[in-house]
Amino acid sequence: MIRFTIRRLLSGIVLLLVVTSATFFLAHLAIGDPTAGLLGNNATPAQRAALHERLGLDRPILAQYWDWFSHALSGDFGTSWRNFQPVSDQIALRVPVTLSVVVSATLLAAVVGTAVGITTGLRPGGHLAHVLKLASVVLFALPGFWVSLVLVMTFAVRLKWFPAVGYVPLTQSPSAWLSSITLPSVALALAAIVMIAEQLRNGFVEVNRQDFVRTLRARGLSSRRVTLHVLRNASPAALTVLAVMFVGLLGGAIVVEIIFNLPGIGSLTQSASQIGDIPILLGLTAVTVVFVVLINFLLDLVLGWINPKVREI
């Protein structure tokens, strides 16, 4: 178990290093001269040269990389090139907003997806199962921002049940916070709900065919208890999808946050990429990958707990 944990953690750290380094070089390659975006079109060549030097862009790229990398190792992601505020402060300010939306979308997907998955899994030929199949086909493909627009048009503009835009911190007013993240969370969660339900339904059908289910019933266990056994055996595929969806939700949140005007990492990513603020972009990448690694690590732990055979491979 300890070896399993260490191996997963090491693999996560390698992934983090590789992805952030690749992003560093990609960003410097793509954004050849960041001063153009930072200073705008009206800046004089002298101003641009001064900024160029101040940002250390005149040094060899490998020296710049080492500079960034060695600082990042100690948790220092440098300062923004636009306002020279620490990157970590700016990101820390916005992460709670994005996490509010993404975590509630994930919870929503887990709870509703599991409920629908179990219901349709117990009656795989029923009407709900057929509706789910059609819904999963369409909702998987439709982008979150498209769903967001439909939700905003319906529930915010027409019915006025929820605010169309804006964010209220949890600490300020829990009910207003909930109401401000409901539509974005639902928009993000819909595709995940049907994916999880579909996985769980397939898992139920598959596990129900296995011999041990009949044996459990033969021992006299109630169908509720047998269902719990089936659920545990059927859940790994659905959990894996949930973890993959979480990564997708972090990306999808960028556009959704802009539609709902939420001050999360989405709008920061957009503005930083437009002006070429590379330190911010690198910080955002690092934070996102850390979340991805953490989620995958948690997933592995949970999968190992669900089925102990997995731990020994």
Partner 1 sequence: MTDAALRAPGAPVRAELSLWRRFLHRPLGVTALAVLLLVVLTGLFAPLLAPHDPNLVDFTLTQAPPGAEHLMGGDSAGRDIFSRLLYGARTTVYGAAIACLVGVGIGVPAGVAAGYFGGAADRICSWISDAVQSVPGMIVLLIVAAGTGADFTVLMVTVGVFMTPGYYRISRSRALAVRREPYVDAARVAGLTHARILHAHMLRAVHAPVIIQSALTAGVAMGMQTGLQFLGVGTASAPDWGQMMNDGFRTMGTHPLILLWPSLALGITIAALAFIGSTLADLVSVRTEPARRRRTAPAGRHAVDAETPASSGALVHTVERSALRIDNLRVTYATAHGDKEVVRGVCLDVAPGEVLGIVGESGSGKSQTMFSALDLLSQDGRSSADGIWIGGREAGGLSRAERHALLGTRVGYVPQEPMSNLDPCYTIGHQLVEPLRAVHKLTKAQARDRAREVLLRVGITDPDRVMASYPHHVSGGMAQRVLIAGAVAGKPDLLVADEPTTALDVTVQAEVLELLRELQQEYGMALVIVTHNFGVVADICDRVVVMKDGRIIESGTVGQIFAEPADPYTAELIHASQDDSESRDDLDAAWHEAGQKVHT
> What is the footprint of partner 1 within residues 63-82 (CB under 8 A)?
none
State the nearest-atom distance from the C-beta of 276 to partner 1, in Å.
6
List of residues 6+ apart from 36 with CB closer than 8 A: 48, 276
Taking CB under 8 A as the rule, which mask of x and - marks residues 9-28 in contact with partner 1? ------x--xx--xx--xx-
DSSP state for residue 156 in the 8-state scheme: I
252: contact with partner 1 by CB under 8 A: yes
Contact status, residue 88 vs residue 297, Cβ threshold 8 Å: no
Q: What residues from 211 to 250 belong to the interface with partner 1 (CB under 8 A)?
A: 211-212, 214-222, 225, 229, 232-233, 244, 247, 250
114: contact with partner 1 by CB under 8 A: no
List of residues 6+ apart from 205 with CB closer than 8 A: 121, 124
User: In which residue are the tokens 């409901």 written?
Assistant: 182
Q: What are phi and psi of 275, to 5 degrees?
A: -100, -5
State the nearest-atom distance from the C-beta of 198 to partner 1, in Å.
11
What is each CA distance from 280 to 74, 90, 242, 248, in whole angstroms? 17, 8, 28, 21
269: contact with partner 1 by CB under 8 A: yes
Q: Which of 258, 298, 301, 302 binds partner 1 (CB under 8 A)?
A: 258
Q: How far apart are CA 232 and CA 203, in angstroms?
A: 10
Q: How far apart are CA 56 and CA 34, in angstroms?
A: 12
210: contact with partner 1 by CB under 8 A: yes
52: contact with partner 1 by CB under 8 A: no
Half-sphere exposure in the Cβ direction for 166 (13 Å, CA): 8
DSSP state for residue 259 in the 8-state scheme: H
Smaller CB distance to partner 1: residue 100 or 269? 269
Smaller CB distance to partner 1: residue 145 or 177? 145
Q: What are phi and psi of 163, to 5 degrees?
A: -65, 145
Q: Which of 5, 37, 51, 179 binds partner 1 (CB under 8 A)?
A: 37
Q: Which of 113, 200, 288, 300 binds partner 1 (CB under 8 A)?
A: 288
Smaller CB distance to partner 1: residue 178 or 258? 258
60: contact with partner 1 by CB under 8 A: no
Q: What residues from 131 to 190 belong to the interface with partner 1 (CB under 8 A)?
A: 133, 137-138, 140-143, 145-146, 149-150, 152-153, 157
Name which of 53, 16, 10 is nearest 283 in CA terms: 16
284: contact with partner 1 by CB under 8 A: yes
State the nearest-atom distance from the C-beta of 219 to partner 1, in Å.
4
